[in-house]
Chain A
């Protein structure tokens, strides 16, 4: 393989390896690396196909980046129109397929067209070492800034809450679902009282850890009202939460 075909070999390898990694259910880190490369590959190759050496520098980068986005937008529309569900397999097939087709097209063009024209060879791009240090330092600081912001989110305090609900999926359902969810940030002890037409029919004492929920189906014909009152123990003087459903005869 000539030097001018190295990029084709690499992009083809990326396409194949990404599909293999997806089939093997590779870890997210591996899929992220291959996936990003596969995502970018069609843009680079299409840029080569469309403009060849007709553009350089920032313009080439911009065109390639634009084409990176073109492939999923236009390809997705075509797949959707063809009735293909846009799940992982479809996206992988689209990106890998476009990559391999572009590889073949570029390979043929370079073979038929002979060796790549020597003009427009990208100039050697040297970054002074002090720039490298500065940019690396800036990148570290920027990532640190995002880390600081994320730490702020993690440390931010929001008041805890407890959810109580009474859910009846439809009018004809003979039952309603009574539910409690604890998001107070700590374990909680509740007393839940169920009333039919103001008469107590059931009492539950619930010990719920933070993030846990409790549900219970209860009969409801609609001929009487049903009320649920949730007390936060040991306080039984006033309901902490309450919900109700009116009966038809109420």
Chain B
């Protein structure tokens, strides 16, 4: 009888054996509630090593590495058994001393007869854990969420700078992160369903925290871009409505289609529908990641730790879950990879045609939803194909090659026929990244001015996180080389994880490197998290015999630092960690009623699509609520006390019709470090802009002052008429 999976935990007691033969008896581990199914088989486990390996890592083993044969009643553990958490290798190398024999056909998994003392210990340990950790984790995380909500409310009510509000925020996050990390990394091995429950709690709690930041309307610039596109679909019934804020958006309409469909059939508001779509898509992505990691590693524990590490990426709680097209595309990237795994698996997953259709559908949805994700999908499939060829896994190579060709074809067709503007849209980002790399290779990069350097503690946390991941990845690669170099997916993940170092380089070299690196982290952290999880498992088990508690605590501390780094240096940035009153040239805190009212007035009075100069804080509001075409490179209009003929000529060349002036630019330094979307002086401002630079338009012949709401004044340039 073949054994599918063996888990050894809890001081060496066999916790789970899932047998392929259906005739076996079923036994449940009293401690972890797992079910054991075996026929007439005997498990022979080296006692000492089983004990040793059980403490820090729930040990797991690949199905084909074990066999339980009914005739010679013993477990044969193969030498090459891949064991991501490094446990089973010690099973093989164990000495004869202390061997525990579990004869399944006789006893109730040894706990009653062969191992009475163990049963006592087992039961005693269980009695010390009367409450399931999942229940406790859920309740504590919910309490943490409440604390975060209170902190946000305190910020809104004027306590945004008070230390206790910030402490409440971090305490709330600790309530969410510490128990989830501790339960996934702890010495008590969670069952598969408990692991899923814990990662669900983590994902949902952070998503709710995201909602609590802005619970009444979308305020993040990227969300406002897609809000505009969805409004266009709802109003026109078409997919090609112009979006001046994100012109590429109508060419990738997946998110807008799903959201407008939900709005239409339920009657829910666009905001609520958007939250539902983004939230489910985000959770689906995490589930698919978990499924992939579990299939690749053969261990739900490794998968859980890998997902936990993935949650430490800078954008997990923000850009990976907000109402933007990437959020919806990510799960389809994952579903395509899952289908590829299933199609090439042995024995083949049934029905194969079903998985193939699913793969094709997922590819098309990915391609129609987000450009970069579709390119990453092609790259991932090519990488797995190469890894499969390197490991001589022809079956895998064939299937992934087929899917890679399909993905590439769909992507190219979409680029050519549906979204030819994509390259124009992406080219500036690509050029900037390439230039940054060239500078870095040429020894430059030192003159890069950080636009807005965070507090020292945040930067230290960031440095520690970079060091920790940089150190973990080589350990993980070593594990791959030692045990898993014949597995194509693991090899592909190891190769892909090298990209993490590229993101570090971008972070250091590019002017807005943190944002670029953060965007890339969404993808690069998938392989990096898995390889780091292998390293964590290895480190935890390598020294577990002597320092189990200390090692477990150290691993927990390192992972928690990574998770807190993700929050501290992710989004929202430190200067808007708590919502609050209006902030000059900020992000969410620049979205306030007076700005929204002015933007709505432009749409009502001037029509849509007018080219308007504005500051960085009002930019997304004007483009979304106002449906205008804000222009990015306009700093020259606001940084001089004289409106020169050269300025007028340049404005004419830019086809500017209106100038939006927020008088508050002369009252505060920019929170983000820059006043304008394209700002040559970003990060260099020492004083607010002089008031004269903003009021000079009042005395310029030919310029009309057509709107005044106190803080916001709109000027009309000579020759302007309404409409695009």
Contacts and interface: CB of A to CB of B under 8 A. Distances in A.
Given A134-B134, A141-B142, 9 more contacts: A39-B261, A62-B288, A76-B261, A85-B238, A88-B265, A149-B212, A162-B709, A181-B597, A243-B708
A164 B708 contact: yes
A58 B710 contact: no
A133 B518 CA distance: 38
Given A63-B358, A74-B361, A146-B211, A86 B237 contact: yes
A133 B258 CA distance: 34
Interface string B213-237: 1011000000000000000010011
Interface string A30-61: 01100110110000000001111011001101
Nearest to A168: B706
Contacts of B358: 50-51, 63, 66-67
A94 to B, nearest CB: 8
Contacts of B208: 142, 145-146
B146 A145 contact: yes
3 tightest Cβ-Cβ pairs between the two chains A and B: A152-B153, A85-B237, A35-B266
A124 B511 CA distance: 56
A83 B264 CA distance: 18
B709 A244 contact: no
Contacts of B153: 148-149, 151-152, 155
Interface string B322-333: 000000100110
B704 A246 contact: yes
Given A39-B261, A243-B705, A246-B701, A156 B157 contact: yes
A134 B138 contact: yes
A237 interface: no
Nearest to A66: B335
B290 to A, nearest CB: 7
B707 A163 contact: yes
B597 A161 contact: yes
B200 to A, nearest CB: 10
Contacts of B519: none
A238 B281 CA distance: 55
26 contacts: A31-B266, A39-B265, A50-B355, A50-B357, A54-B350, A58-B291, A59-B338, A66-B284, A73-B369, A86-B237, A138-B138, A138-B139, A145-B146, A145-B212, A146-B212, A148-B149, A149-B152, A149-B211, A156-B156, A161-B593, A161-B709, A162-B709, A166-B707, A171-B721, A243-B706, A244-B705
A174 interface: no
A177 B716 CA distance: 15
B135 A70 contact: no
Interface of B: 131-132, 134-136, 138-139, 141-143, 145-146, 148-150, 152-158, 196, 201, 204-205, 208, 211-213, 215-216, 233, 236-239, 253-254, 257-258, 260-262, 264-268, 277, 280-281, 284, 287-288, 290-291, 328, 331-332, 335, 338, 349-351, 354-355, 357-358, 361-362, 364-365, 368-369, 579, 581-582, 592-594, 597-598, 601, 605-606, 701-711, 716, 721-722
A144 interface: yes
A160 to B, nearest CB: 9
Contacts of B196: 58
Contacts of B702: 246
A158 interface: yes
A28 B703 contact: no
Interface residues of A, number: 86
Contacts of A219: none
Contacts of A54: 349-351, 354-355
B263 to A, nearest CB: 9
A85 B239 CA distance: 9
A18 interface: yes
Q: Among B146, B277, B369, find the residue whose CB has the most chain A CB atoms closer than 10 A.
A: B146
Given A76-B253, A138-B139, A39 B369 contact: no
Contacts, number: 275
A23 to B, nearest CB: 13
Contact of B582 (A90, A138, A158): A158
Contacts of A177: 605
A137 B139 contact: yes
Interface in A158-208: 158-159, 161-171, 177, 181, 183
Contact of B150 (A87, A90, A148, A161): A148
B146 A91 contact: no
A217 B37 CA distance: 85
A145 B711 contact: no
Interface string A118-161: 00000000001011011101110110111011111101111101
Contacts of B142: 137-139, 141-142, 145
Contact of B146 (A144, A181, A246): A144
A152 B131 CA distance: 34
A214 interface: no
A35 B338 CA distance: 29
A77 interface: yes
B589 to A, nearest CB: 11
A73 B254 contact: yes
Nearest to A38: B265
B454 to A, nearest CB: 24
Contacts of A155: 153, 156-157
B79 to A, nearest CB: 31
A91 B261 contact: yes
A163 B596 CA distance: 12
Given A91-B260, A144-B146, A245-B706, A135 B157 contact: no
Nearest to B700: A246
A162 B597 CA distance: 10
